[in-house]
Structure 1
Amino acid sequence: MNILDTIKTAKLKEVALLKSKYFYSFLEEQPLFNSATHSMKKAIENSVTGGIIAEFKRKSPAKGNINLNADVVELTQGYANAMVSGLSVLTDFEFFGARKTDFELARESNSIPMLRKDFMVDEYQILQSKAMGADVILLIAKILTSNQLKSFTNLAHDLGMEVFLETQNETEILENLDLPFDLIGINNRNLNSFEVSVDNSIKLAQLLPKSSIKIAESGIQSPATIQLLKANGFDGFLIGEYFMKDEKPAEKCKNLIQQLL
């Protein structure tokens, strides 16, 4: 199995356990379940600072430990002060080292749009995301059927959240052009080989309608790469490791944005 298959198998077991402990009614009773959401799509459309979605993650399967002991409140507030368009916060413990309170603390500390970054395999996680105060959920085309993508998207929209669809090849894009996603990400990293190719993302972006809000993901290491991607139709840029591996991630983020202005 490749890493995505491994993660999906583990996630299905994790969700089954959660469903046995915390019923749907428990999620619906959480204080943030009925809270208003913030539009990441509009934030990127209206951005004057480059459409950056800054990610908080402690480790990854591709890179191992990145910044295990980072302070989620200090760091995400630093990202917000740098005028990013939104935050992405990992919530997976087994593969990405997320702590149970990472998303909660980031939500309490920030009012800008937040993406819950996890591997959605069950509608339960969509309701859980709303209960956590997420504004956007991630749906990965590679691990979901077309029916799942449609039903998860509809449920997220019914709950007032936006959908960030992640794709990585031509088939995943062409098969989902009718899906009413709000943001579409093209991952520069091949999730089977971990190779990074910006050229592949540029080629794939041409398949999308001009009206799509296109987000480049993974392997973005410089203002020059962002400018190249922007010139080829990308509106936003999800950046995690480049910031997180630095001693001062928020400063790194601020410096990158200043170079884009």
Structure 2
Amino acid sequence: MKRILEEIIGYQQLVVNLKKQKMPVEVLTSFPEFSSPTRSLKQAVAKSEQGIIAEFKRRSPSKETINLRADVMEIAQSYEQMGAAGMSVLTNQRYFGGSLEDLQLAKSVCNLPILRKDFTVDAYQIYEAKAYGADAILLIANALPSEKLEELSVLAHDLGLEILFEIHEAEEIEKLAPKHIDLIGVNNRNLRTFEVDIQQGLDMLPHLPSELLKISESGIQDTATIEKLIQQGFNGVLVGEFFMKQNASEHNTNNL
């Protein structure tokens, strides 16, 4: 996984460099959404009983096919109807089959705060996220040095976006000061073995700042697991693959 992460980050920077030429930041700042107020994912999770952030993704590096024909507008509406606290939209085309248009379409049909989930490596992507309607962005601790993480988080907050800071190991929390973090995403996937272990995430809890909201990510397939995670101290969960394998009409937290 770490090799895949390095490959993705390298590719992402190439894509960003091309985008900067085709659509400069000055153009992005002229988009209607750029001057629109954002919705708080942090507040939505805090107010929610289970803090479910429902994810939209068609595929991933580990699963080539999850739901390639998924309709993002239909699914966004069903996530809202089922009572999700927020929605995560994968915008990476090459590795996840997603796009910024998916984010734009989701935002147009639901009132959920929306997380742009992508591999953020450049300030340009922060402006891009705001321009296309994101309310929050993902920063991955393992992907960038501390100085870059801080630079991107400050810019995101300046633009009114919140930060979901994703870690895979407890010590990674030290890479970014708590004042720059709105939610901590604790990924249950081991980057060395690619295996998912819920206990790995639970073991990190005591080492994380108590004042920050904590989201459990990866491998969540049923209600019992969600209840266990919330009881143990998580404020919410990010669930993607399970929902994406269902039809939109089946999206119901009671079915988890």
Question: Normalising by structure 1, what TM-score?
Answer: 0.94
1:62-101 equivalences in 2 (<5 Å) = 62-101=62-101
C-alpha deviation, 1:176, in angstroms? 2.9
Partner of 1:156: 156
Contact 2:145 2:175 in 1 (8 A): no
Report the secondary structure of 1:156's partner residue.
helix
Distance in 2, matches of 1:154 and 1:100, equals 22
| Aligned match of 2:123 | 123
Residues 1-261 of structure 1 mapped to structure 2, 5 A cutoff: 2-48=3-49, 50-246=50-246, 248-249=247-248, 251-256=250-255
**Between structures 1 and 2, the one with greater helix share:** 2
Residues 187 and 217, structure 1, Cα contact 8 Å, conserved in 2: yes
Structure 2 contact 52–238 (Cα < 8 Å) conserved? yes
Contact kept, 8 Å, 1:3 with 1:192, in 2: the verdict is no
Give percent identity, aligned residues only.
45
Check conservation: 1:138, 1:166, Cα contact below 8 A: yes
Counterpart CA distance in 1 for 2:134 and 2:233 is 27
- Judge conservation of contact 1:137–1:162 (CA < 8 Å) in 2: yes
Unaligned runs of 5+ in 2: none
Counterpart residue type for residue 183 of structure 1: L
User: Are the equivalent residues in 1 in contact too, given 2:187–2:201 (CA < 8 A)?
Assistant: yes
Query: What secondary structure is seen at the aligned counterpart in 2 of 1:61?
Result: coil
Matched-pair contact (CA < 8 Å) for 1:90–1:118: yes
Provide the C-alpha distance between the structure 2 equivalents of 1:172 and 1:124, rounded to a whole number of angstroms. 24
Structure 1 pair 192/11, CA: closer, same or farther in 2 (3 Å)?
farther
Q: Which runs of 4+ in 1 moved over 4 A?
A: none
The structural deviation recorded for 1:190 is: 1.9
1:92–1:169 Cα change, 3 Å: same
Deviation at 1:99, TM superposition (A): 4.1
Separation in 1, partners of 2:14, 2:30: 24
Could you tell me whether the CA contact under 8 Å between 2:57 and 2:240 is conserved in 1? yes
CA distance in 2, matches of 1:30, 1:215: 31
Any conservation in 1 of the 2:79–2:251 contact (CA below 8 Å)? Answer: no
Within 2, Cα distance between the matches of 1:112 and 1:123? 25
Cα distance in 2, alignment partners of residues 223 and 238 from structure 1 = 13
Structure 1, unaligned stretches of length 5 or more? Answer: none
Q: Secondary structure at the match of 2:80?
A: helix
Compute the RMSD of aligned alpha carbons: 1.4
Query: What is the CA deviation profile of residues 23-75 of structure 1, one whole-angstrom value per residue up to 9, with x for unaligned ones?
Result: 11001101100100000100011113x11000000000111110001111011
Contact 2:74-2:248 within 8 A present in 1 as well: no
CA–CA distance in structure 2, aligned partners of residues 47 and 32 of structure 1? 26
Q: State the one-letter code of the partner of 2:6.
A: D
Deviates more, 1:86-95 or 1:185-194: 185-194
Q: Does the aligned pair in 2 maintain the 1:3–1:191 contact within 8 Å?
A: no
- How far apart in 2 are the matches of 1:147 and 1:256? 42
Deviates more, 1:134-143 or 1:183-192: 183-192
How far off its partner does 1:252 sit?
Answer: 3.6
Instruction: Measure how far apart 1:250 and its partner are.
Output: 5.2
Letter in 1 for 2:69: N
Residue type of the partner of 1:229?
L
What are the superposed Cα offsets for residues 165-195 of structure 1, whole Å, 9 maximum, x if unpaired? Answer: 0000022123334452000000011234220
